[in-house]
Amino acid sequence: MALSTLLATFLCTIVLPILLFLVAVKLWEIYMIRGRDPTCPSPLPPGSMGLPFIGETLQLILQRRKFLRMKRQKYGYIYRTHLFGNPTVRVTGADNVRQILLGEHKLVSVQWPASVRTILGSDTLSSVHGAQHKTKKKAILQAFSKEALELYIPVIQEEVRTAVTEWLARDSCVLVYPEMKRLMFRIAMRILLGFELEQIKTDEQQLVEAFEEMIKNLFSLPIDVPFSGLYRGLKARNFIHSKIEENIKKKLQDSDRGTSHRDALQQLIDSSKKNGEPLSMQAIKESATELLFGGHETTASTATSLIMFLGLNPEAVDRLRQELMEKVIIVHISLATRANLNIESLQQLKYTGCVIKETLRINPPVPGGFRVALKTFKLNGYQIPKGWNVIYSICDTHDVAEIFPNKEDFQPERFMTKPLADSSRFQYIPFGGGSRMCVGKEFAKVLLKIFLVEVVTRCHWTLLNGPPTMKTAPTVYPVDNLPTKFTRYIQN
């Protein structure tokens, strides 16, 4: 009698809940698959929808690249899943990604997860559509024109040089990734948002911490309750907005006095005035926050990867220095005078550009982009149902690109040959593609070239932990923060 009671208790407390859970998961899978369009004969992509309601979001957040790699190996270049509250199709490979990127407004439309839209806002360049997107993009592009970039060069040099001097003065190691985020944040605050040095000195630490908190919770479950990721992200965002609002009001006062600055934030303010629209403080704050995210988070990631790859490949550093000597740039720096850098001299640094391209190939800072299907359409034999989210993968597309032999090797010279043909261009998409290609890509290239000029001509460095493990949250970074020892380079 006692044995039967024990068995019944075991079945009720252990086996029955497990069975109910498995049934719930199966019913969830069936329910989600019923979302396919019955008018389309093509099957849904292979894959799984994960747990009820939360899908496979937790696995993605916890495992990141490992999760994505396992999915691709199991299901191929197109597979279905359920992420951030929505059924989702993840897409890899040049031909598939081409159809998504060139299908903007016809097959798909940009739509980031609900947590991203809530934190960054609905009036950002990455979220608006149609004429509003064109107007906002045109205004921001003016801040990244050749003339504007020329004006930014001395500021970038000043900030990078100050940072490098600090690294060389330290006896202990430098944690490269946090230093890069601090450096790129200062540059973005000055150049993109027009903050003055005194403002940055006063608010820098609080802003950096708030921005870290916001970014950490950007991709989270869309649940706004105390202590949730979304709640913490919004609280940090509100602090950032308060500081940006102070700067906007100052700019408006300066504008009334006939003085204005050539930065991206000012361009957005001027654009609103020219279009006769009432100035929306919230819209400007959202756009400024997006600029700050795009203008420093991605460049900090890439600058860190540059230090990593060059630290592991000293022959590439030697070749960089050789190019700088040939272009007479290194002489100016070795004499402790300001290098005569301008857009033309930076464009001559072909191998330097190739080092950046190769770094972006292996470690693109942004792993992909989000879209939503405007109608049901076919993609490589599978149906993509209307209303489902579509994520195109940049990192996986680079991994499977046929035009890059020896993909694991760091070989900048692979880009020294002729430019990619049109038929191959979607095999290399570090800045995305189509009408939503990154508006700040030329700014990023100029910034990263100046960074390399300053670091390579002034420093030797050694990675103290060797090759690091990389994670994505939301941009690529080394889990150990890349501890590095910098010493002064003496030109022979």
C-alpha to C-alpha distance for 182 and 163, rounded to whole angstroms:
9
Bond into 474 cis (ω within 30): yes
CB atoms under 10 Å from CB of 412, counted, come to: 23
Residue listed under structure tokens 């894959």: 47
CB atoms under 10 Å from CB of 302, counted, come to: 23
C-alpha to C-alpha distance for 63 and 482, rounded to whole angstroms:
20
* Six-digit token string for 286: 């959202």
354: annotated binding-site residue? no
* Six-digit token string for 39: 């008018």
Question: Residue ranges of the alpha helices (H) in 257-313?
Answer: 264-274, 281-292, 298-312
63: buried, middle or exposed (CB in 10 Å: 19+, 13-18, 0-12)? middle
C-alpha to C-alpha distance for 468 and 52, rounded to whole angstroms:
35
CB 181 within 8 A of CB 301: no
Residue among 405, 408, 319, 318 nearest 363 (CA): 408
C-alpha to C-alpha distance for 483 and 307, rounded to whole angstroms:
11
CB 262 within 8 A of CB 254: no
Whether the CA torsion 411, 183, 118, 267 is positive or negative: it is negative
C-alpha to C-alpha distance for 304 and 177, rounded to whole angstroms:
6
Q: What is the 3 state secondary structure string of 230-243?
A: HHHHHHHHHHHHHH
Residues making up the annotated binding site are: 438
Residues making up the annotated binding site for heme are: 438
